[in-house]
Amino acid sequence: MFEAIVITIATAATPLLIAAMGELVVERSGVLNLGVEGMMIMGAVTGFSVAYMTGSPWLGVLAAIVVGALFSLLFGFLTLTLVTNQVATGLALTLLGLGLSGMIGESFVGLPGVKMGTVNVPYLSELPYVGRLLFGQDPIFYISIALTIGVSWFLFYTKAGLTLRSVGDNHASAHALGIRVIAIRYMAIMFGGACAGLAGGYLALVYVPQWVEGMSAGRGWIALALVVFASWRPGRVLAGAYLFGAVSIGQLHAQALGWPIPSQLLSALPYLATIIVLVLISRNKRLTMVNTPASLGQPFVPDR
């Protein structure tokens, strides 16, 4: 029973972790992209449709990543090249993704999905308590852990990561030093879009192997909140994703146990937890300002 609960928590946390990790890189470059929800849902419908038509979940995953990256390019073009408002553009991207995914996925509603299999390491996956959790998960679970380690190493132990953080902290000084601010932000935005697309693909190919309109169900917004909750640190994003995953799964088990609490309130718990965490963090100004990129959300127009 314990092992099954922990595995379901990991499954619920994985898409949050992947999407939040991509957004963390985007925000570290000084860009605020509120279109994570839209990119996730586009990744979900693309991943499902390609996997259904080809019979290959890996092709579905690849398609989800590509569409997420391409969708993010639209945001990049509008905010970096045309210098539109980042908040308004991100919200528009989410609305576009939700509407477009519903139109594309209309013919796939109710069709059986192509579920991605799990990786089972002989003998090790049979260990009690931790066997299936550590050695019997789906491949994207391991990708999410590797992604966390990779992003942390990139940001804090490489010259390229230092350059990206310098762009997010002071884009004017970075530009004066000859750093290509716009190019770096384009690459960060594409990485964030690819991660959001992968997270959406995970929803349609692993978490719930089918297409349901609006199946991202606010997870993109939770991923955005996770970045702030973690004060822009990859390790804390990992912890936060599993915390929110536990809240999501906990409310399902509470309903199954028949607790005398309205099901609507239990379903709202993950989002209620998000609001509470953000309120608590906002009260601590020092914690909020320690790692916040100083140029976050500010437009940049290079001197011509």
Summarize pLDDT for 239-295 with one digit per residue, the tens: 989 988 888 787 766 666 666 667 667 677 777 777 787 777 767 667 666 778 999
Of 27-31, 205-209, 212-216, 289-293, where does mean pLDDT reach its minimum? 289-293
**185: nearest Cα among 18, 28, 24, 69:** 28
Instruction: Locate 220 and state its tokens.
Output: 């993109």
Residue with tokens 């992947």: 18
Can you give the pLDDT at residue 257?
A: 65
CATH number of 2-108+134-290: 1.10.3470
Q: pLDDT category, 193, cuts 50, 70, 90?
A: very high
Q: Are 34 and 161 in contact (CB under 8 A)?
A: no
The pTM for the full model equals 0.92
Q: Are 197 and 64 in contact (CB under 8 A)?
A: yes
232: left (phi over 0), alpha (psi -120 to 50) or beta: left
Of 46-60, 64-78, 267-281, where does mean pLDDT reach its minimum? 267-281
Residue with tokens 């839209």: 38
Percent of the chain at pLDDT exceeding 90: 62
Give me the helix-helix angle, 269-283 and 219-229, nearest 10°: 30
Can you give the pLDDT at residue 130?
A: 75
Of 83-92, 114-123, 213-222, where does mean pLDDT reach its minimum? 114-123
**Whole-angstrom Cα Rg for the chain:** 19
Can you give the pLDDT at residue 228?
A: 87
Residue with tokens 């990779």: 150
Q: pLDDT category, 7, cuts 50, 70, 90?
A: confident
What is the mean pLDDT of the segment spanning 209-215?
91
303: left (phi over 0), alpha (psi -120 to 50) or beta: beta
> Distance (Å, rounded) from C-alpha 49 to C-alpha 66?
14
Q: Are 168 and 293 in contact (CB under 8 A)?
A: yes
How many other CB atoms sit within 10 Å of the CB of residue 135?
Answer: 18
> Distance (Å, rounded) from C-alpha 118 to C-alpha 17?
19
Can you give the pLDDT at residue 128?
A: 76
Q: Is the pLDDT of residue 304 over 60?
A: no
Can you give the pLDDT at residue 279?
A: 76
- Alpha helix positions (H), the chain: 2-28, 36-54, 57-76, 86-104, 131-135, 139-157, 159-169, 171-176, 181-202, 219-229, 234-256, 263-267, 269-283, 285-290
